[in-house]
Structure 1
Amino acid sequence: MHNIKEEYDVVVVGAGHAGCEAALASARMGLNTIVFTVSVDSIAMMPCNPNIGGSSKGHLVREIDALGGEMGKNIDATFIQSKMLNASKGPAVHSLRAQADKQDYTRHMRQVLENTDNLTVRQGEVSEIMVNDGVIAGVKTVSGAEYFAKAVVLCTGVYLKARCIYGDVSQYTGPNGLQAANHLTQSLIDNGIEVRRFKTGTPARVDKRSIDFSKMAEQFGDERVVPFSFTTDPESIQKEQVSCWLTYTNEETHKIIRDNLDRSPLYSGNIHGVGPRYCPSIEDKVVRFADKDRHQVFVEPEGLYTNEMYLGGMSSSLPEDVQYAMYRTVPGLENVKIVRNAYAIEYDCISAIQLKSSLEFKKISGLFAGGQFNGSSGYEEAAAQGIIAGINAALYVKKEEPLILDRSESYIGVLIDDLVTKETSEPYRMMTSRAEYRLVLRQDNADIRLTKYGHKIGLISDERMNKLNEKIRLIDEEIERVKTVNVGTSEEVQKVLVENGSTELTTGVTLAELIRRPELNYEVLAPIDKHRPELPWDVQEQVNINLKYEGYISRQLRQVEHFKKLEGKMIPEELDYFAISGLRKEAMQKLDKFKPRSIGQASRISGVSPADISVLLVYLESYRRNLAK
């Protein structure tokens, strides 16, 4: 046998959205990295929806970018429509969402990977992890080749023992007919990793020429495009955008679905995996929301050079004939032709409670995991975990402390903390409501919150950090200035107020006080601000938000301070919870299973009560005193 043997610092298994970020982070931090993919044509593939961002997911993309990741830059380079969601609501829930040209998105990311120093792209199926005495040693491929490494990152997405299903058709392939990875699961089980089965699904892709758009509502992009990446020049991405379309299902659609539920593998027992509650199939929606007489269907282009259109909101695993029947009841789709059938996909993944907050396995040193393999759903959630897993794999090799973002400073922190402390029974999806401190964790200030970490670990250049520091200086200076600018009751002032539906002044006030009025903002008050400096739009945005929500932000920052105190109370890894008298049995078992890193994290484990936390705090105090003796 003459098997290939190679050595690397870091091996990344999988080159989807998580694998790409993990591999790029590791390589850019100077480590010799190899990334494996079952097909180089599927690098950063979008097997489901053709967009990046959206509610809360836009936050994640901005945070990835602030840390030095690639997703934001990649969508800025390849989008075909961009829209700021929830623009009429407060800034905490504003979320950027962009339609991608799918082929272009993949091609562009592949180009970045192939031209990154220290990074090798390799097509091949990883079949085994090699572990010596609880420490990762590398991986083996199906060909028998051995790749030795100091750290390994698993980002297998939905490929492990993947099975695509619609009706009675069941094919053991990955998404889009790509080959599944059928060998690695057994190796993980053999090494003590618990594996489970999840499912997700995707709607049909249909031929644009068979759609009657006159029966649908046209959805336009924003007039002025806001970039995802803090490094993208806003002027460089203003371009003509393509339209999306909105239509609805109806009672006839729902009747066809109900009449054929016995033929759905979801209900016949042919699908064993658990699906995502927040992204249900159309048959699931019809059953669970029986009172609704219609559901939205978003018709979205898959790219500029294809006629394929994506039917957002109508994912399904119903048989082919039922798919045709139900789609053709929808206004505008009466004569629709399907290019690719809708299908469900089942795959092996893990419960992330087996991971530390650094995304390293508790049982195997140097083995990290990110993305859908960790039991999450969505491209953005995957990429967010990927960059953290890649960063921490690199820091592990360098023998440095891991980067752990907490819930009070990032959506990424919320996402990972939820995954490693809560036993999710379905694919996890990020939502703004999951973030307790969302008023301070806005997408617009992700750079101010996180770029310092990216700079510290070497993913952000000095030049970019200096630019950010200058931006922060300008924001602080301008906020102080408008707090001291007094506005009188002149005719000019009253005219601006009346024009913007605001009450006239009876006495002088500061400019800051006027900005705080709901109907006014920093921009509309420009005509009465005689000494207003020329400032970049992102600085103006921060000035406006910080002044408008100053009271609420201050209150939330006080809550964050309290949270930080509990997060700062670290729990020794070796602590024996069964030796702590006063702890309830359930709490002992849960704490022993999760091994929380801090009191804060312990308090978020279901089954651990406030009384248990009090007992734990008292015990830790005496434990530390004994250690100090």
Structure 2
Amino acid sequence: MFEKEYDVIVVGAGHAGSEAAAAAANLGSKTLLITMNLQNIAQMSCNPAMGGIAKGQIVREIDALGGYSGIVSDKSAIQFKMLNKSKGPAMWSPRVQSDRMRFAETWREMLEQTPNLDFYQEMVSGLLIEGDRVVGVKTSLGLSVRSKAVVLTNGTFLNGLIHIGEKQFGGGRAGERAATGITKELEALGFDSGRMKTGTPPRVDGRSLDFSKMTIQPGDEEPQKFSYLESTKPLTHQRACHMSYTSLQVHELLREGFDRSPMFNGAIQSVGPRYCPSIEDKIHRFADKDRHQLFVEPEGWNTVEYYINGFSTSLPEDVQFRALKECDGFQNVKFFRPGYAIEYDYFPPTQLAHTLETKLVSGLYFAGQINGTTGYEEAASQGLMAGISAHLKIRGKDPFTLQRNEAYIGVLIDDLITKGTEEPYRMFTSRAEYRTLLRQDNADFRLTPKSFDIGLASENRLHQMEQKKEQSDKLVAFFKNTSYQVAEANAILEANNSAAVQQNDKMFKLFSRPEIDMDDMLQLEQVKRFVEKEKFSTEELQQAEIQIKYAGYIEKEKSNADKLNRLEGIRIPDNFDYNKLKSLSFEAREKLKEIRPTSISQASRISGVSPNDISVMLVYMGR
């Protein structure tokens, strides 16, 4: 029925599990993906969208590394938007509205076409442990399946408890049972666990909505795509989203149900996501606001189901319904299903190494919401890295990790294992101190060569990246080495209210002015001829423009990153005895002993470890 022994078993087939299974199998490991329902592979449990602020950068990084999320997002997109275009390119973030059913279908098709990957539908209820290492899993039907590594990506299913008003019932997602057994077993092995909460809004019938009373939210006029591969294409037509608002009357109706809300009556004890609060949490915490935005998002190309983004709630269904009816365009609303909250088990991620392998059990990896994160993109990136790590470990190869100056994925994992999290962790651009280097446009330059070296990114993907880099470098060199004519340049400068020039100079200098963009430069005859001759793509033109206009910022961040890397190079031995350092503060000693950082740089990021503590360690290690 099964292989005698798998290389890697992945438990759970959400976004983390799907990426983990694909990565391990594509690298050559015999992989088994076990999930409770094979019909729900890569299900979008919450909103039907991928990307967004910082999350879009993560999807681009997953794609650059050879993961599937970017390709699936492109193939199932119904709308594309590049967010934050009014800001600098470090803030630009791609986002797609997705066809929920097509997204899951495309993921399953791609996984089924992946060599070395088997599937099985069952609930994993425990682990097979020998000594201090995992050797497989046990299922609820009593089957034992052996492997060299196990990746747990259980999502919200570990002892999941769903709340709708006063009603509570076990489940990992609406209509699906919770997973039991694993938490108790991990706790018995010495793992610490906790509880977190997330929520989801009602889904409604679009035929019952009056969109004329809402503000239309179209996609970009010239949509781009997530994947760097040429095999996916930008959208040629798109579905619109819409925006409505709550009101003071809506807030009053919601407040009437607060005494029946699990958020306020003590039924929910765990912490929810700070940056994606429920509607009841919003009107409680921001009582001075007389309205909140609601984004009305279609669930696909050919469905009338809509997701009401901004109205996440666990209030009783009748309260949800009465309040939503008072929002513009919702007067005749019909529910497909109410919103609900869900509590689930997680394991504080300070119990993991940078590879996402647990410190207590060799060969066991955690990825996704089990680590306290929220969001498809955060989960998928962890799954990808865990799948890579498991494959490399069982073959005795060096670990593959990403630094904070190399990827948002590196920031995410370092934050989790170094600082931990007591609330659902969500990625933001502000978390990345080197975000000018970690742009969505250059993820392939940053990561594809690294992934190719370990055998995951294909030769075709590497070739496309190298070709793009060669072309954009050629264009930058042209601007650096070619001079403009004063009269021609001044015509452009005058049109953009920029100071005139008095003499010929290099085009790079002209292009560096904040008022001047690529469209302006293309008005120069020499530039126009060169671009037409070389047939530069839109991506190559954009890449060259960013490299020129932000050259100073990029160089400054590279310099700062080099300083960080020098501290990363000072490794701390695994058996380092912090008790010998009498000058360390008590808090620093306890935190360092718990987290056991691998470098001085990581130690400096631990909450409670001061610059003075780092100085003590540097002096001691210098000796």
Residue correspondence of structure 1 range 39-58 to structure 2 within 5 A: 39-58=37-56
Which residue in 2 is equivalent to 1:384?
A: 381
Which residue in 2 is equivalent to 1:460?
A: 457
Structure 1 distance, partners of 2:261, 2:158, is 23
The one-letter amino acid paired with 1:618 is V
The one-letter amino acid paired with 1:178 is E
The runs of 5 or more residues in structure 2 that have no matched partner are none
Residue correspondence of structure 1 range 128-527 to structure 2 within 5 A: 128-232=126-230, 236-490=233-487, 492-527=488-523
Structure 2 distance, partners of 1:238, 1:336, is 30
SS in 1 for 2:216: strand
Q: CA deviation at 1:349?
A: 1.1
Which residue in 2 is equivalent to 1:593?
A: 594
- Return closer, same or farther for 1:372/1:514 CA change in 2, 3 Å cut-off: same
Which residue in 1 is equivalent to 2:524?
A: 528
CA contact under 8 A between 1:4 and 1:144: conserved in structure 2?
no
Which residue in 2 is equivalent to 1:564?
A: 565
SS in 2 for 1:613: helix
The one-letter amino acid paired with 1:76 is D
Q: Which deviates more from structure 2 when the two are superposed, residues 593-602 or residues 526-535?
A: 526-535
The one-letter amino acid paired with 2:548 is L
Q: CA deviation at 1:223?
A: 1.3
SS in 2 for 1:527: coil
CA deviations on 1:565-597 (whole Å, 9 max, x unpaired) are 111111111111112221112111110000001
The one-letter amino acid paired with 1:611 is N
Structure 2 distance, partners of 1:9, 1:435, is 34
Q: Which deviates more from structure 2 when the two are superposed, residues 533-542 or residues 390-399?
A: 533-542
SS in 1 for 2:263: helix
Structure 2 distance, partners of 1:346, 1:159, is 9
Structure 2 distance, partners of 1:105, 1:164, is 25
Structure 1 distance, partners of 2:530, 2:316, is 64
SS in 2 for 1:616: helix
Structure 2 distance, partners of 1:132, 1:620, is 36
CA deviations on 1:179-230 (whole Å, 9 max, x unpaired) are 2112222121122221111010000000101111111000001111111000
- Return closer, same or farther for 1:408/1:5 CA change in 2, 3 Å cut-off: closer
CA contact under 8 A between 1:5 and 1:146: conserved in structure 2?
no
Structure 2 distance, partners of 1:71, 1:15, is 13
Structure 2 distance, partners of 1:121, 1:524, is 54
SS in 1 for 2:434: coil
The one-letter amino acid paired with 2:52 is G
Structure 2 distance, partners of 1:312, 1:10, is 37
- Return closer, same or farther for 1:362/1:213 CA change in 2, 3 Å cut-off: same
Q: CA deviation at 1:432?
A: 0.4
CA deviations on 1:440-493 (whole Å, 9 max, x unpaired) are 110100000111111011111223213322322222232122112111222x43
Structure 2 distance, partners of 1:125, 1:233, is 36
Is structure 2 residue 607 aligned with structure 1 residue 610?
Answer: no
Structure 2 distance, partners of 1:451, 1:5, is 32
Structure 1 distance, partners of 2:35, 2:83, is 34
CA contact under 8 A between 1:587 and 1:612: conserved in structure 2?
yes
Which residue in 2 is equivalent to 1:26?
A: 24
Structure 2 distance, partners of 1:434, 1:4, is 43
Q: CA deviation at 1:171?
A: 1.4
Q: Which deviates more from structure 2 when the two are superposed, residues 587-596 or residues 173-182?
A: 173-182
Structure 2 distance, partners of 1:295, 1:232, is 40
The one-letter amino acid paired with 1:264 is S
Which residue in 2 is equivalent to 1:625?
A: none
Q: CA deviation at 1:335?
A: 1.4
Structure 2 distance, partners of 1:466, 1:332, is 50
Q: CA deviation at 1:619?
A: 1.4
SS in 2 for 1:481: helix
TM-score (norm 1): 0.96
Residue correspondence of structure 1 range 64-79 to structure 2 within 5 A: 64-79=62-77
Q: CA deviation at 1:4?
A: 7.4
Structure 1 distance, partners of 2:2, 2:35, is 17
Q: CA deviation at 1:166?
A: 0.9
SS in 1 for 2:264: helix
Structure 2 distance, partners of 1:42, 1:273, is 26
Choose from 122, 125, 130 the match for 1:124.
122
Choose from 84, 87, 92 the match for 1:86.
84
CA contact under 8 A between 1:113 and 1:121: conserved in structure 2?
no
Structure 1 distance, partners of 2:612, 2:403, is 24
Q: CA deviation at 1:233?
A: 5.3
SS in 1 for 2:530: coil
CA contact under 8 A between 2:79 and 2:235: conserved in structure 1?
no
Q: CA deviation at 1:536?
A: 1.8
SS in 1 for 2:308: strand
The one-letter amino acid paired with 1:561 is D
Structure 2 distance, partners of 1:457, 1:142, is 36
Q: CA deviation at 1:169?
A: 1.2
- The root-mean-square deviation of aligned C-alpha atoms, in Å, is 1.4
Structure 2 distance, partners of 1:232, 1:16, is 26
The runs of 5 or more residues in structure 1 that have no matched partner are 623-629
Q: Which deviates more from structure 2 when the two are superposed, residues 459-468 or residues 80-89?
A: 459-468
The one-letter amino acid paired with 1:312 is N
Structure 1 distance, partners of 2:59, 2:417, is 21
Q: Which deviates more from structure 2 when the two are superposed, residues 467-476 or residues 318-327?
A: 467-476
CA contact under 8 A between 2:80 and 2:235: conserved in structure 1?
no
What is the number of equivalent residue pairs in this alignment?
618
Q: CA deviation at 1:522?
A: 2.6
Structure 1 distance, partners of 2:459, 2:299, is 38
The one-letter amino acid paired with 2:26 is R
Q: CA deviation at 1:529?
A: 4.3
Which residue in 2 is equivalent to 1:626?
A: none
Structure 1 distance, partners of 2:306, 2:540, is 38
Structure 1 distance, partners of 2:412, 2:239, is 32
Q: Which deviates more from structure 2 when the two are superposed, residues 168-177 or residues 309-318?
A: 168-177
Structure 1 distance, partners of 2:171, 2:236, is 38
Q: CA deviation at 1:262?
A: 1.3
Structure 2 distance, partners of 1:320, 1:176, is 14
CA deviations on 1:106-146 (whole Å, 9 max, x unpaired) are 01101111121000011110011111111111101111111
CA contact under 8 A between 1:372 and 1:382: conserved in structure 2?
yes
TM-score (norm 2): 0.97
- Return closer, same or farther for 1:574/1:513 CA change in 2, 3 Å cut-off: same
Q: Which deviates more from structure 2 when the two are superposed, residues 598-607 or residues 512-521?
A: 512-521
